[in-house]
Amino acid sequence: MRVVESMNKEKITIIGAGHGGYSATADMILKGYDVTLYELPEYRENLFPLIKTGKLRVTGEIQGIVDIPKIEIEINKAIEFATIILIITHGGTHRKLAEMMAPFIKGEQIIVLLPGYTGGALCFEQIFKQKGVKKGYTLAEANTLPYACRKITGEPAVHVKLYLKKFLISAFPAVKNDEFLSVFQKLYPNAHKVENVLETGFNNGNPVLNVVPCVFNAGRIEYAKGEYQHFQEGVTPSVARVMGELDLERIGVGKSLGIKLVPYLERVMETGYVQSNASWYEAIQTSLHLTAKGPDSLQHRYLTEDVPYGLTPWYHFAKDRNIDVKLMESLIQLASALSDENYFETGRTLEEMGINDMTNHELNQFLLYGS
Amino acid sequence: MRVVESMNKEKITIIGAGHGGYSATADMILKGYDVTLYELPEYRENLFPLIKTGKLRVTGEIQGIVDIPKIEIEINKAIEFATIILIITHGGTHRKLAEMMAPFIKGEQIIVLLPGYTGGALCFEQIFKQKGVKKGYTLAEANTLPYACRKITGEPAVHVKLYLKKFLISAFPAVKNDEFLSVFQKLYPNAHKVENVLETGFNNGNPVLNVVPCVFNAGRIEYAKGEYQHFQEGVTPSVARVMGELDLERIGVGKSLGIKLVPYLERVMETGYVQSNASWYEAIQTSLHLTAKGPDSLQHRYLTEDVPYGLTPWYHFAKDRNIDVKLMESLIQLASALSDENYFETGRTLEEMGINDMTNHELNQFLLYGS
């Protein structure tokens, strides 16, 4: 690894020690970067296996055992010395994280949300602006986590089932895209540049992929407590058809914003997630996660993240542009009822992204130039 | 039976040879009435076991083996000689049946919908009016089928798990209620008079009881093809909670119409369906149908009947009175997506009931006096 190491001078802080954080930590250390791993106080038990053993094992499409990375529990130490910060956390932490990080952002740092859900980078920008963070940083956002991965419970280990063959990324403002990509593609050669950070957000597949089966199997999930094959059993032909309809609504919202979105099924083959895209049903039945067990409760990111940070911002865009998204709205409504939380209110809004009351022209200028 | 028979001069035609029709046929024959059983052409195979054996066996809370009733496949013969017509069919047949029956309605006949879903009697009235049926008939509508029952597949037999301890009924116009009840309570002493045929419709428990678990277990239903215990497994605490919220919406719609509805849980103990009503979850977990198997597909009356003839008319009332019923609307939307049919459009409307553009005062006058 030493040859590689000497080539990679970036100091990377990874925020989040969940499935994705473990994978990225191993991946970046194996690529020779100087990595610091930070976890939020409320999820700190994620760090215990690493602290205990001093090692991190990765299996699957990435393989190796790496020495324990630097582990930080103080945000200032995690941020100050990093040149690149990869944020790999639940969408619900973005606001809080931005506020915690703001005082320590210095100079030309690059902050990447892996993924941003929808508008994550814009939310960071708003908070940084409010907190008076000095310009110079670059925000960026991916459409998805670059790994299909699962931690081995209680062990300092993660299994990477798939290193996505392709994922989408953009900087904010997008005018920095080429400069940003010249650095970021060294970390992730499979990152593919798109127009701006709304194109990444609207190309997050999870709100369609996860919310529909979750709502239509809510009873099953709560009864079986995870002991069933969620996609294989839960995505039946009718459920799959509704996923397709929701995807059309997503594309319609994009269109109203001037973003040309391709159907998820056209995109997903490129990631390596599925073996067929002849239909939503076939795609799911040939997917990598086919035999994965179900969510073990309704308090699962398929609802608690993919609704408020995925469907909800899409819905707010739709309402703002007078686009009819009845299916999206109904799913948010029923997910809210199931979770006993009003996701229309608690989810991400255009105000939080700082782009309410913008025409499409103003929005595109803002996404490109940052003002 | 001969003593009873001599006391009961009514000639009863039962329309529909499903679970309810079988039960009512046996029940009325055992009570000594002269019974004719009619079935629509598209469901005629329901009659085969009866035609083949000449007998009908009933077990459970009603018991006996009765000689085959008169079976009719011509609507005129089924209608003309009846003094009472009990309509025990899928809500989707009401419109067609009213049109088929209209030419043969003569004199003082009583036509009872068991149940009417919501507004069934009003829909009959509209069609009878359009077809110029001579006044003199009495329409009536129950809130529910008086039996919890299941046919024994392929056999001339039905099992009556519960003869409801109490159900609700009203005539249209309601001014005829006492006269109507004096006849009808001989057939059904457990029938309890309510204000009018909207009170019966809004006291149909099925749209809440069936649609919520059906939507939240759609994947399970389609995957398991009925081989799971729908209420026991499918009505989890979260699903049950949403049922309670939908019931509140139902009560709110009733309030906007000036109908005072009590919560379903207050009413259901009186029927004998459940052993506890401490919460929706407990009610379902102590219900008669707890271990019943699930619907074997999504083309099941829990969706195809309880949505378009239950939730949809409630929704139209709500919209007409500017009442917010987001949960109801979302459930109709998702049930529509699952069924690939727009239940907002194909379901029962206020126009079909002939009561659009009425104020509450006009509506109440109409329900009471028929004009």
Of residues A216, A334, A340, nearest to B219 (C-beta): A216
Instruction: Please give the Cα distance from A168 to A7 (Å, whole number).
Output: 25
pLDDT at B68: 85
Domain of residue B281, CATH code: 1.10.1040.10
Task: Indicate the number of domains in chain B.
Answer: 2
User: How far out from the chain centre does Cα B191 lie?
Assistant: 14
Inter-chain contact B337–A329, Cβ cutoff 8 Å? no
% of residues, chain A, pLDDT over 90 = 94
Yes or no: say if A15 and A89 are a contact pair by the CB < 8 Å rule: yes
pLDDT at B7: 57
Taking the CA of residue A334 and the nearest CA in chain B, the distance in Å comes to 7
pLDDT at A3: 43
* Complex prediction ipTM: 0.93
Who contacts B10 (Cβ-Cβ below 8 Å, separation ≥6)?
Answer: B33, B34, B83, B84, B183, B186, B187
Asked if residue A162 has pLDDT above 80, the reply is yes
A371 domain residue, yes or no: no
A144 domain residue, yes or no: yes
Yes or no: say if A284 and A235 are a contact pair by the CB < 8 Å rule: yes
Q: Final residue of a domain: which of B163, B187, B202?
A: B202
Yes or no: say if A34 and A11 are a contact pair by the CB < 8 Å rule: yes
Asked if residue A2 has pLDDT above 50, the reply is no
B58 domain residue, yes or no: yes
| pLDDT average per 10 residues of sequence, chain B (371 residues) | 56 98 98 96 95 96 94 95 97 97 95 97 98 96 96 96 96 98 97 97 96 98 96 97 98 96 93 94 93 94 97 98 98 98 98 96 97 91
pLDDT at A6: 43
Tell me the pLDDT tens digit for each residue of A118-129: 999 999 999 999
Helices and strands of chain A, counted as H and E runs: 20, 12
Distances (CA, A) of B15 to B82, B90, B271: 11, 11, 24
In this structure, the answer to whether residues B166 and B227 fall within a common structural domain is no
In this structure, the answer to whether residues B321 and B211 fall within a common structural domain is yes
In this structure, the answer to whether residues B44 and B193 fall within a common structural domain is yes
CB pairs under 8 A between A and B: 106
Mean pLDDT of A280-294: 93
In this structure, the answer to whether residues A115 and A179 fall within a common structural domain is yes
In this structure, the answer to whether residues B198 and B218 fall within a common structural domain is no
Instruction: Please give the Cα distance from B69 to A368 (Å, whole number).
Output: 79
Which of B210, B326, B328 to probe the A interface (max A CBs under 10 A)?
B326
Instruction: Please give the Cα distance from A66 to B128 (Å, whole number).
Output: 81
Half-sphere exposure of B347 (CA within 13 A, CB side): 29
Yes or no: say if A344 and A315 are a contact pair by the CB < 8 Å rule: yes
Instruction: Please give the Cα distance from A287 to A282 (Å, whole number).
Output: 8
In this structure, the answer to whether residues B171 and B217 fall within a common structural domain is no
pLDDT at B4: 46
Taking every pair of Cα atoms in chain B, the longest distance, rounded to a whole number of angstroms, is 56
A192 domain residue, yes or no: yes
Q: Final residue of a domain: which of A202, A226, A250?
A: A202
Quick check: A214 contacting B, CB < 8 Å?
no
Q: Tell me whether strands A191-193 and B64-67 are parallel, antiparallel or unpaired.
A: unpaired
In this structure, the answer to whether residues A194 and A218 fall within a common structural domain is no
Report DSSP letters for B124-178, one per residue: HHHHHHHTTPPBTBEEEEESS-SEEEEE-TTSSEEEEEEE-S-EEEEEESGGGHH
A292 domain residue, yes or no: yes
Place A48 in a pLDDT band, splitting at 50, 70 and 90. very high
Tell me the pLDDT tens digit for each residue of A250-260: 999 999 999 98
In this structure, the answer to whether residues B178 and B252 fall within a common structural domain is no
Q: Helix B326-339 to helix A326-339 angle, to the nearest 10 degrees?
A: 120
In this structure, the answer to whether residues A153 and A218 fall within a common structural domain is no
Taking the CA of residue B261 and the nearest CA in chain A, the distance in Å comes to 22
Asked if residue A154 has pLDDT above 60, the reply is yes
Instruction: Please give the Cα distance from B236 to B231 (Å, whole number).
Output: 8
In this structure, the answer to whether residues A35 and A173 fall within a common structural domain is yes
Of residues B237, B329, B340, nearest to A241 (C-beta): B340
What residues of chain A lie within 8 A of the CB of B329, using their CB?
Answer: 330, 333
In this structure, the answer to whether residues A120 and A36 fall within a common structural domain is yes
Tell me the pLDDT tens digit for each residue of A213-228: 999 999 999 999 999 9
Instruction: Please give the Cα distance from A333 to A146 (Å, whole number).
Output: 30
Tell me the pLDDT tens digit for each residue of A33-42: 999 999 999 9
Of residues A223, A239, A327, nearest to B233 (C-beta): A223
What residues of chain B lie within 8 A of the CB of A302, using their CB?
Answer: none
Tell me the pLDDT tens digit for each residue of A315-334: 999 999 999 999 999 999 99
Place A289 in a pLDDT band, splitting at 50, 70 and 90. confident
Per-residue DSSP letter, B112: E
Quick check: A154 contacting B, CB < 8 Å?
no
In this structure, the answer to whether residues A182 and A237 fall within a common structural domain is no
pLDDT at A224: 97
pLDDT at A7: 57
B357 domain residue, yes or no: yes
Which residues span the domain enclosing A163?
2-202
pLDDT at A68: 85
Residues of A numbered 220-279 whose beta carbons fall under 8 angstroms of chain B's beta carbons: which are they? 220, 222-223, 233-239, 241-242, 245
Q: Final residue of a domain: which of A172, A202, A232?
A: A202
Q: Which residue of A has its CA nearest to B232?
A: A223
The 10 Å Cβ neighbour count of residue A82 is: 26
Q: Is the peptide bond before B173 cis (omega within 30 degrees of 0)?
A: yes
Yes or no: say if B293 and B226 are a contact pair by the CB < 8 Å rule: yes
Domain of residue A158, CATH code: 3.40.50.720
Q: Which residue of A has its CA nearest to B222?
A: A236
B371 domain residue, yes or no: no
pLDDT at B186: 96
B55 domain residue, yes or no: yes
pLDDT at B107: 84
Inter-chain contact A219–B213, Cβ cutoff 8 Å? yes
